[in-house]
Structure 1
């Protein structure tokens, strides 16, 4: 069975189209930014008065079980109201009140997050400079509507799977923090907080050149761009290849095993990873720097990990950006980065502990991927347009 969303909703409306009076404290004013990860957050810097809230409440008295959907800008995020807490919503959020006998709120939440509904939402959106969905078109979208008992069964299964997925994500976040804590404690114990400039460990530093797009090809050597550099890893889900020229430029920008790669321009500035044997022979874009270390003084994984830490290399990178209109790092700034002064043996001992933690994190990551795949499969199956009663 199918039905238009409007047919199984008591109403579909949106938040205020006006600009609520601003106050330092009072009633929170919420927008699409507050709807994320299937939940509603009340954290905001915008507040309004009790009078404004009462005026809003006369038009829209939000209650437990109402479903929120972002309909302006980043469209398609949803949440269910779980507690009666005063708030004024802006027009970027739609409020849908399901008919209790026809439509379950939790079922609708998961439906909104399904690929089926996201595609329908996009198809019915106004793709101008800022994406948006008119309420009338939202209400006209046909949704699969099994019996209430089946809706609640589906919602219960997806609630549980989503909860497991979220717990897995939190566990992974804690493991990342644990790695950093281990590193921080180890360098404090071993170095007595003694640091040296990165220049003391360098043998070579350079960055990629312009114009490599003319060497793009379907096969050849890998070409590392800023987006390929993640947290201490080079990940190329959509690898770019080049047929490099036989010249000095190519020789200068060719990656060696153990090179530390650092993004030095653009919005991804500060990403860092070290090159493995699989990355050797690749080439870099103009947004990436090669930091080649004296291997008798520094272990690449140690330097890379330190530069990736928020209170290690990242805070130094941010300070280097202060006052600049266009984000960028030059070689002189990189050479001045302070690096913990540890012997090679101590660096190796630190990284063995980090490696052990990373193996646990990789196992959790694999498990998380399986859970997410299962959740996606369950959601797709539950909300297929061909769902039968």
Structure 2
């Protein structure tokens, strides 16, 4: 440990905050930007990126380049990921810090230092705010980071990143699998090239025997969740999984941020328990209408008040078909319009979801599609479980390497 030294982050990296979102004052050309919701631990969620105006003088101050660490200032202060130029011309909103290491410091090593601090409550002494926590720039600059010489930093980063490289490879495979299921849905149910289409009459743009049906007619149960007693203080390292809106993305479940409550609290609370083949739908806030299948690896589970459980009556429809129908581009736009009606905050109610209509083919065709989609889902679950184990192995190694106990 004698070769490790303490540094203030402001001395070993250039720090800056993103740009304030102000449509009236901002000038220049439109560029995509990262917001707090786009940054997870170690990864970026780049679906549905928003844009705002930036001037040429803003490019250096608010832009990101490969190797920059992007960190949340609020939400979950300290949560961060390494930017790798996945989207050209990316900029930052004010809710994010940009950390650009100086010569002599490895950006991957710094990221793993932050990951270690995040897992050991190492940012808490720098946070402000009684209820909503923030990590101000001046406080972040004072953060103490322990680091060995550069060569050792690089070896530590290489050891830990080998796990993350495998995780990322699995994530890419999962994305390709999900794309295959989405393309099949579009081929059969949007372009209408389903098995037997050559012998099916089209009546007013819809194949004969297909019907527009409200979800309430084909769903056995619709239930919403609850706020745990004690709020965030009730969250535990293990127990009954509590799925929140930050876990639910279109076509995928995000493990990062999954909370747990005690089994006793889960049993004492009324509401619906998440079961196999349930559909999870976000019903409030910026992520409203995002929808995915319940992850088998975390069942049985509960949901909080921002997530709705949709349980399809399997005698009437196939859950994988219903999930893809809800997530299709046209239906997604309609569902979002439902959420925006009559409310200053986007929200969906049980009544709205029950009345929401999708076009359903005969049950046999739905089940034929569901058979294929189910196989894709199970392959994705297998890869997700592998990633879960890889993260656990990395996290066992992390404190030993970052403390200097284990020499890389």
Q: Structure 1: any 5+ residue segments left out of the alignment?
A: 215-222, 245-252
Q: Secondary structure of the residue that 1:197 maps to in structure 2?
A: strand
Look up the match of 2:29: 25
User: How far 1:70 moved relative to its partner?
Assistant: 3.2
CA gap of 1:48–1:386, structure 2 versus 1, over 3 A, is same
Partner Cα distance (2:83, 2:183) in 1: 36
User: How far 1:320 moved relative to its partner?
Assistant: 2.5
CA gap of 1:225–1:236, structure 2 versus 1, over 3 A, is closer
Look up the match of 2:237: none
2:267 maps to which of 233, 241, 244:
241
> Whose Rg is larger?
1
Contact 1:198–1:337 (Cα < 8 Å) also in 2: yes
CA gap of 1:46–1:122, structure 2 versus 1, over 3 A, is farther
Verify: 1:170 aligned to 2:189, yes or no: no
Look up the match of 1:350: 369
User: How far 1:376 moved relative to its partner?
Assistant: 2.4
User: How far 1:197 moved relative to its partner?
Assistant: 2.6
Partner Cα distance (1:348, 1:167) in 2: 31
Verify: 1:185 aligned to 2:203, yes or no: no
Verify: 1:197 aligned to 2:198, yes or no: no
Verify: 1:366 aligned to 2:367, yes or no: no
Partner Cα distance (2:13, 2:318) in 1: 59
Q: Deviations over 1:223-258 (max 9, x none)?
A: 99985996699x9964622487xxxxxxxx989x99
Contact 1:320–1:329 (Cα < 8 Å) also in 2: no
| RMSD (Å) for aligned C-alpha atoms | 5.6
2:53 maps to which of 40, 46, 49:
46
User: How far 1:6 moved relative to its partner?
Assistant: 2.9
User: How far 1:357 moved relative to its partner?
Assistant: 1.7
User: How far 1:168 moved relative to its partner?
Assistant: 1.6
Q: Deviations over 1:85-107 (max 9, x none)?
A: 9989969535454452xx43432
Look up the match of 2:323: 305
Q: Secondary structure of the residue that 1:165 maps to in structure 2?
A: helix
Contact 1:38–1:79 (Cα < 8 Å) also in 2: yes
Partner Cα distance (1:120, 1:236) in 2: 19
Matches within 5 A, 1:121-200: 121-128=123-130, 129-133=132-136, 135=138, 138-139=141-142, 141-143=144-146, 145-187=147-189, 188=192, 189-190=194-195, 193-194=206-207, 195-198=210-213
Contact 1:70–1:94 (Cα < 8 Å) also in 2: yes
1:339 maps to which of 336, 359, 363:
359
Partner Cα distance (2:74, 2:185) in 1: 40
Contact 2:213–2:360 (Cα < 8 Å) also in 1: no
Partner Cα distance (1:300, 1:208) in 2: 18
Q: Structure 2: any 5+ residue segments left out of the alignment?
A: 230-239
Contact 2:7–2:144 (Cα < 8 Å) also in 1: yes
Look up the match of 1:378: 397
Contact 1:111–1:383 (Cα < 8 Å) also in 2: yes
Q: Secondary structure of the residue that 1:5 maps to in structure 2?
A: strand
Please give the TM-score of this superposition, normalised by the length of structure 1. 0.64
Q: Secondary structure of the residue that 1:93 maps to in structure 2?
A: strand
Contact 2:211–2:359 (Cα < 8 Å) also in 1: yes
Partner Cα distance (2:93, 2:66) in 1: 16
Partner Cα distance (1:79, 1:209) in 2: 35
User: How far 1:382 moved relative to its partner?
Assistant: 1.4
Q: Deviations over 1:334-363 (max 9, x none)?
A: 345122222x33222222212222222222
Look up the match of 2:73: 72
Q: Secondary structure of the residue that 1:46 maps to in structure 2?
A: strand
Partner Cα distance (2:244, 2:51) in 1: 31
